[in-house]
Chain A
């Protein structure tokens, strides 16, 4: 059958029949659903979303720009290629762990153990590779698996035995910190091989300018092609699709951003390996959350556990796996942190580190109430946290002030989250 003809026919009839009587509607295809009419319709939808409290990433992006503007006005060194490049590498450790936290927050739960688990991963790697002389790759894999196992244990106790996640992971926080100190032994600090794989994670830069530009091209083209072909398919089966000019505008915006970042990196040492890995993980996790049945299950559990159970979702298994994912990302992040300082020490993953990680996920826009968030939030949030840290350090402002400012930003974000939720509820009823 000719799909194109039918879809245009229904499009025309939908306009006429929107207000028709129910009897007439039943005869003709009643397309009463709102259609996006070109770019204007898209703008209208955007305004409606804003009003309904669906702010998305806008508060955090605006906040980030304000933070950058303030620090740039205070110190001209802030917005230099060197500082930007350093910040990008420094944020990967915290950001990776925040990705895991986003998964847990989507369930509406919390994991307080990720800081300690990240320390354990760094220490495990150092002990295995340096003290015992194990192959670095093998040690790296084992260190990450340690994190997975730790997370799976937390998940098991939470999901199967029913202990609140808060309590389980608080116990985990203490236990794994003790475990890390135990395996590090009396020395307390183990220096990593400065030419080894793990140190290279944060010290390696693709100095060829083609690398950064190439990545920018690949990202932009990949986005455009996937959006374009998705749209083609939507048009073919007659479901609402985005207008082509919207896709083009989005692609252009992405291209501008990607090339701006690439230019900045190339002005300094080139494209950092750590950033490439971080972006790859962000793309992967975003894909898993939004495009797979597993990701849908995570969102479902964050929305309603009872509904998920009745829909036949294995609630326990999803919960355990999510905590295992959080543990895995904690371990990966821990390795990046160890890589940055080229050592595993007793202070890893302790103190304000955990709070920064959770703050990053929340500041980025992941809801504390579960069911709302994206892994890209972790990137935005960690950029805010790291920008504040670096900006204040440039100014020579001591950490007490830094804590207070980060605390203020976190509070503002959580307030926005709570207010958005309320607005969404009232807007939904209207």
Chain B
């Protein structure tokens, strides 16, 4: 099993977020360690995307604290998150169809040599990066438009790796992908873990979660509804936590003991 460090890379303590009259997040706790994949699951509107956006700095939190490597930090802008070493891959991949793979990987942080784009060096490093992640695409010099959905997804993830982030957040990376492509992305997630990155994976697909995640954090109506070890938890338990179908003392206790939730 992968070694998990004692201090979490990222820890959320009692995070709350309001949008006008809507309490989107209430007292949410979350811990992610280096070399650990935490799946964030929940029904639609459970607050997954909001939680991710608070970490990514899109929506600053209202209450609670964010700890980074044990230090308390405030993330108010996307820039803050990036500086800490948080990379987010959103569901809409934010790639430029008309630009080739190398151009997309280095978009906004182009390598320059005497003011001119250093295409050769960028291409070399792109190939190196894709090779280390074992990403297979026909050529690094073809436009994104001619890649499949899965290939685009892996390019988007590879792009997030360029800044050597400590934490990678993947928002529904396998939604709308085929079987082979999903396998490719899941392989990549495992490789991220092997390389010691902390990963937060948002997913609707229990099979994917069971396949790659170490821990599953369930959100329900903007609150924690249990944090489970994937190995020792059945799919049914997770699903009932998501839907709230069997909310009873047992699940509550399980949530408390596993997730160390302070109420």
Contacts and interface: CB of A to CB of B under 8 A. Distances in A.
Interface of A: 22, 25-26, 29-34, 52, 230, 233-234, 237-240, 291-293, 296, 299-300, 302-304, 306-308, 310-313, 370-372, 424-425, 427-429
Contacts of A429: 148
Interface in B118-133: 119-121, 123-124, 127, 131
B161 to A, nearest CB: 15
A30 B128 CA distance: 10
The 7 A-B residue pairs whose C-beta atoms are closest, nearest first, are A303-B96, A311-B108, A371-B98, A428-B146, A307-B94, A303-B98, A311-B107
B98 A311 contact: no
30 contacts: A25-B134, A29-B131, A30-B134, A30-B136, A34-B138, A234-B120, A238-B124, A240-B139, A291-B117, A292-B117, A293-B110, A293-B117, A296-B99, A296-B103, A300-B96, A300-B108, A302-B98, A303-B99, A304-B97, A308-B96, A308-B107, A308-B108, A310-B94, A312-B108, A313-B108, A370-B98, A424-B145, A427-B146, A428-B145, A429-B148
B201 interface: no
Contact of B116 (A25, A292, A313, A370): A292
Nearest to B101: A33
B261 interface: no
A429 B124 CA distance: 26
A114 B38 CA distance: 55
Interface of B: 78, 90, 92-99, 103, 107-110, 112, 115-117, 119-121, 123-124, 127, 131, 134, 136-141, 143, 145-148
The secondary-structure label for the interface of chain A is helix
Contact of B107 (A26, A291, A296, A424): A296
B120 A230 contact: yes
Contacts of A29: 131
Nearest to A239: B123
Contacts of A22: 134
B94 A296 contact: no
B109 to A, nearest CB: 8
Nearest to A430: B146
A302 B97 CA distance: 9
Contacts of B131: 29-31
Contacts of B140: 33
Nearest to A305: B96
A128 to B, nearest CB: 34
B110 A424 contact: no
Choose among B96, B116, B141 the residue with the greatest number of A CB atoms under 10 Å from its CB: B96
Contact of B124 (A230, A237, A300, A311): A237
Given A299-B98, A370-B98, 12 more contacts: A26-B134, A29-B131, A30-B131, A233-B120, A234-B120, A237-B121, A239-B123, A239-B124, A291-B119, A307-B96, A428-B143, A429-B148
Nearest to A36: B139
Contacts of A291: 116-117, 119
A43 B143 CA distance: 19
Contacts of B90: 310
A237 B120 contact: yes
Nearest to A293: B110
Given A293-B117, A296-B110, A303 B124 contact: no
A371 B120 contact: no
B97 to A, nearest CB: 5
B95 A304 contact: yes
A308 B131 CA distance: 26
Contacts of A304: 94-97
Choose among A300, A307, A371 the residue with the greatest number of B CB atoms under 10 Å from its CB: A307
A52 to B, nearest CB: 7
Contacts of B138: 33-34
Nearest to B117: A291
A195 to B, nearest CB: 39
Given A425-B145, A428-B146, A34 B96 contact: no
A300 B106 CA distance: 11
B107 to A, nearest CB: 4
Contacts of A425: 145
A25 B131 CA distance: 10
Nearest to A421: B145
Nearest to B78: A310
A427 B148 CA distance: 11
Contacts of A299: 96, 98-99, 103
A239 B92 CA distance: 30
Contact of B147 (A52, A230, A306, A428): A428
Given A33-B127, A307-B94, A300 B107 contact: yes
A307 B107 contact: yes
A427 B138 CA distance: 14
A300 B131 CA distance: 25
Nearest to B88: A310
A227 to B, nearest CB: 13
